[in-house]
Amino acid sequence: MAVCELFTTVCSFFATLQTVYTGPLQPEISNGTFHHFFVPDGDYEETVDPEQCQMLFKFSDVYPCGHAEEGSDAAVRDDFVISKLQAEDAARLLESIGRTVAHDLDGEDSYGKFLQREISQISEAFSSVDKSLLELEVKFKQSQETELREEQQLNGYVVQQVSDIRGALRETTDISLGLRDRHELLSLIIRSHGTRLSRLKTEFLTVDS
């Protein structure tokens, strides 16, 4: 469908190349391409009817108005040859465009199907990316939960160790206090025994004397 529209456009373009130029008359000008403007005789004053001798695009040999009747058969033959060449050029152009379109379509029948396939592939790619993002989000949440659980376990272990250390310190303090009390008691007992021994010694020495 696109090739047909392009062919119509090209044909319309070639058809408009023989239109009458409505600009000011000049002896001879060129637009820098293969188009060529021609003014009969190149002299405005000798032109009898400027409306019939206006400039044309030179796709074929255009003769001055005064010589239009001379060599009309040759002009017709030249026009046929030029038209044939133009048709061949258009055919080659259309063939090239057809190959380009076929290459662009990549085996599809139309641009619609080609675009549908491209959209389907893009949708699949987006779905895959979305799925990957969801998987990453789930893994991230699981990692956060694992870290939180490990942190809680570590905190619990540390708290338990601190509690055990406090208990051990408390027991050590209690034992230390008990040992100090026993030390004081033993000191009193030893002093008491020393006093008794001294008294007994004194009494024994007194009796002997």
Give the model's pLDDT for residue 99.
Answer: 76
In a domain, 50, yes or no: yes
Token pair listed for 81? 């040859």
In a domain, 122, yes or no: no
Determine the pLDDT at residue 55. Answer: 45
Residue 19 belongs to some domain of the structure:
yes
Give this prediction's pTM: 0.31
Asked if the structure places residue 131 within a domain, the reply is no
Predicted pLDDT of residue 31 = 43
Residues of the chain with pLDDT under 50: 1-3, 10, 13-21, 25-40, 43-60, 62-67
Domain coverage including residue 54: 2-105
- Inside any domain, residue 128: no
* pLDDT confidence of residue 51: 46
CB 83 within 8 A of CB 92: no
pLDDT of amino acid 52: 44
Q: Tell whether 200 is covered by a domain.
A: no
107 C-beta neighbours (distance < 10 Å), count? 9
Segment 92-137, tens digit of pLDDT? 888 888 777 777 666 666 767 777 888 888 888 888 888 889 999 9
- Please state, in angstroms and rounded to a whole number, the distance separating the CA atoms of residues 102 and 104: 5
* Eight-state DSSP code of residue 194: H
> How many structural domains does the chain have?
1
Q: Is 83 a domain residue? A: yes
* Residue with token string 């641009």: 111
Residue 164 lies in a domain: no
Residue among 40, 37, 34 at smallest CA distance from 52? 40
What are all long-range contacts of 160-166, with beta carbons under 8 Å and residues at least 24 apart? Answer: none
